[in-house]
Structure 1
Amino acid sequence: MFFNEDFETLPREALRALQLKRLKAMVARVQESVPFYQEALKKADVNADSITSLEDLSRLPFTYKQDMRDSYPYRMFAVPMEEIVRIHASSGTTGKPTVVGYTKKDIENWSELMARSFVAAGVNRGDIIHNAYGYGLFTGGLGAHYGAERLGASVIPMSGGNTKKQIMIMQDFGSTVLTCTPSYSLFMAEAAKEEGIDFRELKLKVGIFGAEPWSEEMRADIEAKLNLTAVDIYGLSEIMGPGVAIECHQAKKGLHIWEDHFIPEIINPETGEVLGEGEEGELVITTITKEGIPLIRYRTRDITSLTYEPCVCGRTHARITRMSGRSDDMLIIRGVNVFPSQIESILMSVEGVEPHYLLIVDRKENLDTLEVQVEVGEHLFSDEIKHLQALSQRIEKQIKEMLGVTSRVRLVEPKSIARSEGKAKRVIDNRKKA
């Protein structure tokens, strides 16, 4: 039922005492080793010695994703590079990734928290975990992989794509657990149906899905089509990767966030005011055990709420509700973070393309789609069709190579995209209407 019962069921008072001790130690470390935090803490007139209770957390400065971009690649690291054993990265608006480094201890902690997450989802060491999250700089694949090995389960490192082979492997290898994005699981279901394969004949019992927003309606659809229990997992590379929080299979009502490693807050995204239990706002996370790149009050931009109500599973850690959206303009397409400004940067580097574009995001056959409409100059629009097609394909290739997302580029005639006297409307997300 538990992977580490002593910590997962700590009484609230003991958990808060541990958080305070670890918070003070972390702040002491970064004020000694990270120039960014030396300056930020001095400006906020706070240091490790002045923190006497968890209520003092609100006195500490926020950390933004832009701060990490500005510190590219290693200036936020709190330890020398010889202590960093792994580097991951996520995309940023400028084309430069947000870089995170892990010490040996960080990897050990991450592996344990993913093992905890697997057990909370109803997985045990006798399971065969089919891991279809992407391997590489993206944290999903390796995060789940190391957690599965820490648990002692068997792990199949499939990564994404090659859907027919994925289904064949699940059949032949007797996979009992599936990890991937929720939309990809439904695509698998469609592909299996086309091949005449019934998921009810497979041994899958649990699906652990994350990396993109999904609804309760999608959960019901996944559970019906894949014949398994679908569990929501949350994480972000800046904080750790997958396994920051997860639903327990007993309740599936909010995601337990591992508070012995992270302190969560909910704030008003406009004012920064700390909100109370049950109030919806932006999730802010402080890491209290990370060595490589500790973060103070990191603004996740994810909108949710917190509850400390006891859970039927026996875990005492707070739960966050399913994410209802983001406080910024970032799009999540098939688990990949995409900012309109990233695409704009690519478009504006193409000769003959005008600075007027529209991104249309939709969901077709259970997979996210991205169409990029961009105006071209008069001389190009009157060019031969084969030249326009070649230009569209070149832009699609650049978007795929730079952002890791597949798109369809439509070149449209001049002045066909609506103008605005105020803020330009760059995105139409039809997934929100579904």
Structure 2
Amino acid sequence: MDSAVLTTELREQFDTFTAGKWDQATLESHQTRKLRDTVAHVRHNSPFYRERLAGLTPEAIAALTVDDLADLPFTTKEDLRNAQFDILSRPVSEAWVFYETTGTTGAATPCPRTNTDSINNNSVLTSYYGDVLEPHAHGRVVGISGPSELHATGDTFGDVCRNLGYTVAKMWPHSPVVGFDRALEVMRLLPMTALFCTPGMAMRLAQKAIDAGLRPRIDFPLDLLLLTGELMSPSLLDNISLLWDAEVRNVLYASQEASVLAAATSDGALRTAPLINLYEVVDPDTLAAAVPDANGVRHGELVVTNLYLGAKPLIRYRTGDLVRMHPPGAGAAVPAPALEVVGRVHDRLLLNGRLVNGYDLENLLLSQVRGYRDYQITVDRDDSGADRLSLLLRADPANDRPTLERTVQLCREELGTGLNIRFGVPGEVTGTGAMVSWKAARVVDLRAQRSSEDEAADRVAAARL
């Protein structure tokens, strides 16, 4: 389809969908048609899926419905690493840009994007972000800080900001050419009023500003921080808001492999994009569909199927991420489920018999303290064999003793685990979360042998020194 025609079609679809003019039957009809098109597309064009879906006849594909999704096989991260270019449904020469995963914890996998890929994903963000950015529209200059030149961050947010009429400055503080000093100078010079970055980068920039004798809350015009790429608990977001005296948003849940999966809306939620993806939530151990709780919330591993005919549509892709998927509810800015991303399946910690995800642990330990520019958690055992935690904060020890004592008490009440709070400098490894994982960056688990991800985080950190 011609790019201009596709753009117009998607804009009209998102305008009517976000306005609440699609009923469930309309959405399901759209998803069913797109599912059939996508499965036929990958079955015909992708060497990997041609083999994986060999048993599907054209007649079976033409009869597929969204209720039949569970009959299709999963796709895993290991499949992507092993298949490499065979996963693609279009040759790289038909893409407009080539990206790849970082390759820090395994073989990098190719992630080329065609115009179809970019238009579908950027249409979601353009539609959802309009009302998020509009209250800050006057004089908006938006900075974009991403992990690498081969990552989609800069192009994606750049195109979306251009669609919405904002000036963009792309800067990579970890680049040896730019560096933190120049990045801070650019932020003040422009002046930069909004910034897309990771939570770790937001805290690192605040620390580097303080090191340079600057005051983040006063000497910078930032009034909006748009965060993505790492685990983000409400406690962490509140702290970053305090550091910069700015509004802070968790604006995107996406992956290099599967593209945009959920985006911020004006009601403060991350909402799914059901016009371009199908979503499942499964038990990460049994792979059975998650059963909604009394409030209709499903908790488990997110599985996604892309619904557009791009370079690399994925069928039932296991993201490896744990989520809580909430029904839209009354008053939702967009009539789509809301997602809380609570950490990777492999990042859960067993503490005195309780399995805890990263989101809830971070939110608990940081719920009472403010003003820190970095943090790290250590897990070990006391002489009795009980697990215990230590929280290291990079901050002026200005949090009063009752606040710290309340944090220790909450940890004991919620997790049955002792906690010690210290002040100091965690080190460069905490800045590797977006490149490796929250656990490798934020947790030192002295109870277990170091993992390959721990070693990968150390390598990334060493390269930045």
Say if 1:120 and 1:248, in contact at 8 Å, map to a contact too.
yes
| Identical-residue share of aligned pairs (%) | 22
Equivalences for 1:246-257 in 2 at 5 Å? 246-250=263-267, 252=268, 254-257=269-272
Question: TM-score, normalization: structure 1?
Answer: 0.72
Residues 269 and 281, structure 1, Cα contact 8 Å, conserved in 2: yes
2:140 equivalent to 1:140 = no
Cα shift at 1:191: 2.5
* AA in 2 matched with 1:141: G
Aligned counterpart, 1:79: 90
Q: Does 1:211 align with 2:235?
A: no
Q: In the superposition, relative to structure 1, how do residues 141 and 96 fare at CA in structure 2: closer, same or farther (>3 Å)?
A: same
Aligned match of 2:125? 114
Provide the residue aligned with 1:308 in structure 2: 327
Does 1:21 pair with 2:36? no
The amino acid across from 1:5 in the alignment is: D
Give the unaligned 5+ runs of structure 1. 332-360, 373-398, 409-416, 430-434
Query: How far is 1:172 from its partner?
Result: 1.9
Q: Which residue of 1 aligns with 2:257?
A: 238
SS at match of 2:280: strand
Alignment deviations for residues 334-369 of structure 1 (CA, whole Å, 9 cap, x no partner)? xxxxxxxxxxxxxxxxxxxxxxxxxxx997648974
Residue 301 of structure 1 and its aligned partner are, at CA, apart by 0.7
Matches within 5 A, 1:46-57: 47-51=60-64, 53-57=65-69
Contact persistence 1:231–1:246 (CA under 8 A): no
Report the counterpart of residue 5 of structure 1 in structure 2: 15
Which residue matches 2:172?
A: 159
Pair 370,206 (structure 1): closer, same or farther in 2 beyond 3 Å: closer
CA contact (8 A) 2:16 2:22 kept: no
Residue ranges of structure 2 left out of the alignment (5+ in a row) = 1-10, 350-389, 396-424, 455-465
Aligned to 2:113: 102
In structure 2, distance between residues paired with 1:59 and 1:44: 11
Residues 368 and 132 (structure 1), Cα distance of their counterparts in 2 relative to 1, 3 Å cut: farther
Name the aligned partner's letter for residue 209 of structure 2: A
User: Using the alignment, how far apart are the partners of 1:55 and 1:362 within structure 2?
Assistant: 46
Shift of 1:15: 2.1
CA pair 206-47 structure 1, distance change in 2 beyond 3 A = farther
Q: How many residues align?
A: 353
Deviation at 1:199, TM superposition (A): 2.3
Q: Which digits, 9 at most, give the CA deviation of each residue in 1:361-390, with x for residues without a partner?
A: 997648974679xxxxxxxxxxxxxxxxxx
Matched, 1:65 2:77: yes
Give CA-to-partner distance per residue, 1:291-313, whole Å, 9 cap, x none.
10010010001101212223535
Hey, what does 1:386 align to over in structure 2? none
Equivalent residue letter for 2:117? D
**Is the Cα–Cα contact under 8 Å of residues 282 and 299 in structure 1 kept in the other structure?**
yes
Residues 1:82 and 1:133: Cα distance change in structure 2 (over 3 Å): closer
Contact kept? 2:277, 2:304, Cα under 8 Å? yes
Q: Which one-letter code corresponds to 1:132 in the other structure?
A: S
Write the distance in 2 (CA, Å) between the matches of 1:217 and 1:92.
Answer: 30
How do 1:301-340 residues align onto structure 2 when only pairs under 5 Å count? 301-310=320-329, 312-321=331-340, 323-328=341-346
SS in 2 for 1:291: coil
The alpha carbon displacement at 1:330 in A equals: 10
* Structure with greater proportional helix content: 2
Match in the other structure for 2:99: 88
Verify the 8 A CA contact 1:121 1:246 in the aligned structure 2: no
**Normalising by the residue count of structure 2, what TM-score does the alignment of the two structures yield?**
0.67
Paired residues of 1:248 and 1:256 also in contact (CA < 8 A) = yes
Cα distance in 1 for partners of 2:281, 2:123 equals 25
Output the aligned Cα RMSD: 3.6
User: Which among 44, 47, 68 is matched to residue 32 of structure 1?
Assistant: 44
- CA 1:244–1:308: 2 relative to 1, 3 Å: same
Matched, 1:202 2:213: no
Secondary structure of the corresponding residue to residue 75 of structure 1: helix
**Deviation by residue 1:99-157 (Cα, 9 ceiling, x = unmatched):** 11211221222332332343253357652111122341122222222221222211011
Indicate yes or no: 2:188 matched with 1:188: no
